[in-house]
Structure 1
Amino acid sequence: MVAYLIADVDVIDMAMFDEYRREVPATEARHGGRYLARGGATTVLEGDWEPHRLVIVEFPDMTSLIAWYDSPEYARLKELRFRCAKTRIIALEGVPPVG
C-alpha cells in the first residue's frame, strides 16, 4: 500500500535549502519516492493553518518511506535541512487500490 510523506517547510536560509533541494530527489528516487507536489501555491479552505512550503512525496509503501528517512544517504541532507528550515513532517498510509 502506498505511503505519503507530507512536509510543511519554513525555509530560514534559502541558499542552504537550495543545496538540500538539489540533492534530496535522488535519495528519494532510490527508495521509490516520487513528488506529487513540491512548493506549489496553496489555498487554506478551513481552519487556521498557515502552510509555508508544502511537499508531498509518494513511496511504494511505508517500509520504503521509513527506509529512505532513516537511510545513511539521507542523514547528511537531513542535518542540512535541520540547519536551514523548520519542518513538520508526517508519514501517511494510503488507501488500498479500488477494484
Structure 2
Amino acid sequence: MSQVYVYIEFKINDLEAFDLYTSQVSQTTEIYGGKTIAVNKLPLPIHGEVGADVCVIQKWPSLKSVQSWHESPEYAPLKKLRDEEAMSDLKVIPIPALD
C-alpha cells in the first residue's frame, strides 16, 4: 500500500459556506489519515491557465483511505455543503506517490 497525494482545485461560490467548510473539513480528513500539506489561494501558473480560485494538495496513507473518507458519514454533511453551496468546478485527482 503506497501513499497517495490528492490534488484538488475549485472555484469558490459562496465565501460564507466555504469558510464553514474549511473550518471543519480537516477534522474529518484526520480521522482517515489525510493531511493538507499545501494550499494556494492565488494560483499563478508557470505555464498554461488555471481555472480555479484555490488549489490544494493533501497527503494520504492510501487510495483506499481517501475513498473511505470521501464516502464517510463524518464527511457527508460537509460534502453536501461543498457541492450545493461552497464550491464549483471541483476536481479531485489522486496521484500515487513514487516509492
Q: TM-score range by the shorter chain?
A: 0.7 to 0.9
Is 2:37–2:57's contact at 8 Å kept on the other side of the alignment?
Answer: yes
Aligned residue for 1:88, secondary structure, equals strand
Q: Structure 2 matches for 1:48-59, cutoff 5 A?
A: 48-59=49-60
Displacement of 1:40: 4.2
Residue 94 in structure 1 maps to residue 75 in structure 2: no
Is 2:42–2:53's contact at 8 Å kept on the other side of the alignment?
Answer: no
Q: Size of the alignment, in residue pairs?
A: 96
TM-score normalised to the size of structure 1? 0.88
- Runs (4 or more) in structure 1 with deviation over 6 Å come to none
TM-score normalised to the size of structure 2? 0.88
Q: Any stretches of 5+ residues in structure 1 without a counterpart?
A: none
Q: Indicate the residue corresponding to 2:67 in structure 1.
A: 66
RMSD: 1.3
Q: Any stretches of 5+ residues in structure 2 without a counterpart?
A: none
Q: Indicate the residue corresponding to 1:44 in structure 2.
A: 45
